[in-house]
Structure 1
Amino acid sequence: MTLPLTLPRPAEGVKGQRIRHAAAALLSLLLLFALLGPLAWPDHAAQDLSRFLEAPSLAEPLGRDHLGRSVVARLAHATQLSLMMAVLCVVTALLAGTLAGIAAAWRGGWVDTLLHGLSEAFIALPALLVVLMFSAVANGDLWTLYVGLALAQWVEYFRVVRARSGLVLAGPAVEAAGLFKLGPVHIMRRHLWPELRPQLTTMATFGVGTSILALSTLGFVGVGIQPPTPELGLMITEAFPYYHEAPWMSLAPVLILTTVLAGLLALRSKESST
């Protein structure tokens, strides 16, 4: 009798799996904080100067800031705002870039020339410059910042989708589907989407982290969302002058940013390696 051959899982694989599970757990807790935190601490703008730089307590886990505002309330609203803006920007850029890339590869001709030329114009401008231009016009307006962040990212999806779709559409499987008159819906569902999904999922995950970091960078340098609206980068800037008296004020938003970025990188390491 022969026993089935079972190979032990490599130690690196087990360690990587544990890291991904820990990252997923941390991101889940962060998402719950973003969803439920504003409900538990609804008033992020209430000021009480008599509680200037109040130390953390059970009632106020992160204390009060220089204006007597609840730091945990502002952090919860800032986390929710950053996540919502990042997801909205990535979804918009993904849809626009994917549809444009498929249209360019499928139709070809003047459609491909026009869309490719438009993408080259955006590539010539650094993404940060595009965002800064819109943020200068926005003056703290969320929708203008959203448009700027989405425009800075759509070209990445367009280039990847256009290149990959061109290879798939020129393949024998799509040629056979055309001979059988199966239609564009079948080609999209059976051939294009399975090829594009892994790359788009990875790009979208990293895009969320990039959007959050870009939004925080704009707030940190004072050209993003304006006070009193809470935002992670803005909270860091406001807390810096009081770092020695209240270090938790600046460390809390930094920890949120670090958790988001490190968690997303750990989650995507599995698909990137396969």
Structure 2
Amino acid sequence: MRLSSSAGEPSSSTTRHLLAWILLAALAVFAFGWPLFAGGDPASQQLLRFLEPPSLQTPLGFDHLGRDMALRLAYAMRLSIGLAMLSVLSAALFGTVAALIAAWQGGWVDRLFGLLADAVLALPALLLVLLFAAFAQGEKWPLYVGLALAAWVEYFRVLRAGARSVLASPAVEASRLLGFGAAYIARVHVLPALWPVASALFCLGVANAILAVAALGFIGVGIRPPTPELGVMMVELLPYYDEAPWLVLSPVVVLALLLLSLVMLTERGGRDSAVRREREA
């Protein structure tokens, strides 16, 4: 007899999942809504307002060059979220398609994709992004290419293993005997089984990409000033921590909240995958 999980666990998981979505939605509303509400140019300088403290009109004050901190933070979040999601979506699409083809065909096709994945894994992900960033420092496209190339391997390896298990299941064998084609099997059996894992990988991938972009900006090889970006803003504002600690803490807190919400969604996706496997057992 299988023991069921405690009654409080699903409720707690649902609450964390809801809180993660609320937090992520609030951050997205600020990133994309505040520039429409406040207006202005994030690079516009008012030197007479150097390190001006927060007020009702400017809730985060002005930075060391007299720039609206809230406006710059909103644009920085736009850049981080947009670049991370575009990179991970590209990686997810290629990695998922490659995993399905390799699991379905097997043989030399599977080995070819496996060798390609191993070649990418030979370099650490951050080093791979650094190599592409070196071609055009300060541009966005090298970061996109590097992040996408580094992220697809995880999708491929995890989803290929899951697809192999599903394709070997009795349900798929029955569908094949009944004459259903590959498209039907993928739509009805494979993709629904892989969705919880894929969604968890997506949330974790976006979190890793946001952190990687911020880390590269922090060490000066990613996005360059005056473009607002979370890592760049941390470096720019760090010397003024004693005079205006709220300035340097703002991008740090935003980055932490973004990562926290995405990791909480990742935890829910992994739990859903485990529940599905238990039900099918």
Distance change (3 Å), C-alpha of 1:164 and 1:254: same
SS at match of 1:61: coil
Structure 1 CA distance for aligned equivalents of residues 86 and 22 of structure 2? 23
CA distance in 2, matches of 1:228, 1:199: 38
Deviates more, 1:160-169 or 1:190-199: 160-169
Which stretch shifts more, 49-58 or 150-159? 49-58
**In the alignment, residue 38 of structure 1 is paired with which amino acid?**
P
Q: Aligned-residue CA RMSD in angstroms? A: 1.7
Residue 3 (structure 1) aligns with? none
1:150 to 148, 152, 173: 148
Cα distance, 1:97 vs structure 2 = 0.4
Unaligned 5+ segments in structure 2 are 1-5, 276-281
Distance 1:16 1:223 in 2: 39
Q: Does 1:238 align with 2:197?
A: no
Q: Which residue of 2 aligns with 1:24?
A: 21
Alignment partner of 1:92 out of 79, 82, 90: 90
Which residue is 1:193 aligned to?
A: 191
Match of 1:64 in 2: 62
* Matching residue of 2:279: none
Q: Are the aligned partners of 1:93 and 1:154 in contact in 2 as well (CA < 8 Å)?
A: yes
Q: Once the two structures are superposed, what CA deviation does each residue of 1:30-70 show, in whole Å capped at 9, x if it has no partner?
A: 01011112222341010111111111111111111111111
Work out whether residues 220 and 237 of structure 1, in 8 Å CA contact, stay in contact via their aligned partners in 2: yes
Pairing 1:171-186 to 2, within 5 Å after superposition: 171-186=169-184
Change in 2 beyond 3 A, CA 1:267/1:186:
same
Distance 1:167 1:29 in 2: 39
User: For the Cα contact (< 8 Å) 2:201–2:266, is it kept in 1?
Assistant: no
**Matched residue of 1:257: which SS?**
helix
Mean Cα deviation higher: 103-112 or 220-229: 103-112
Work out the CA distance in 1 between the residues paired with 2:96 and 2:16.
Answer: 31
Q: What is the rounded CA distance, in whole Å, between the counterparts of 1:15 and 1:198 in structure 2?
A: 19
Aligned residues: 266
Change (3 A) 1:17 1:174: closer
2:253 is aligned with what amino acid? L
Give secondary structure in 1 for the equivalent of 2:174: helix
Aligned residue identity for 2:227: T
Q: TM-score, normalised by structure 2?
A: 0.89
Aligned pair partner of 1:227 in 225, 248, 254: 225
Residue in 1 that maps onto 2:49: 51
| CA separation of 1:42 and 1:188: change in aligned 2, threshold 3 A | farther
**SS of residue matched to 2:144:** helix
3-state DSSP of counterpart to 1:255: helix
- Match of residue 39 from structure 1: 36
When the two structures are superposed, what TM-score results if normalisation uses the length of structure 1? 0.92
On the 8 A contact 2:199/2:269 being kept in 1, the answer is no
In the TM superposition, what is the alpha-carbon distance from 1:225 to its structure 2 partner? 0.5
Residue 251 (structure 1) aligned with residue 258 (structure 2): no
Contact 2:172–2:185 (Cα < 8 Å) also in 1: yes
Q: Quick one: which amino acid aligns to residue 51 of structure 2?
A: L
Larger deviation, residues 103-112 vs 197-206 = 103-112
The answer to whether the 8 A contact 1:138-1:145 is kept is no
Cα distance in 2 for residues equivalent to 1:167 and 1:269: 22
Secondary structure (helix, strand or coil) at the match of 2:227 reads coil
Residues in 1 aligned to 2:268 and 2:128: alpha-carbon distance in whole angstroms? 32
AA in 2 matched with 1:23? A
Tell me, which stretches of 5 or more residues in structure 1 are unaligned? 1-7
CA distance in 2, matches of 1:15, 1:230: 37
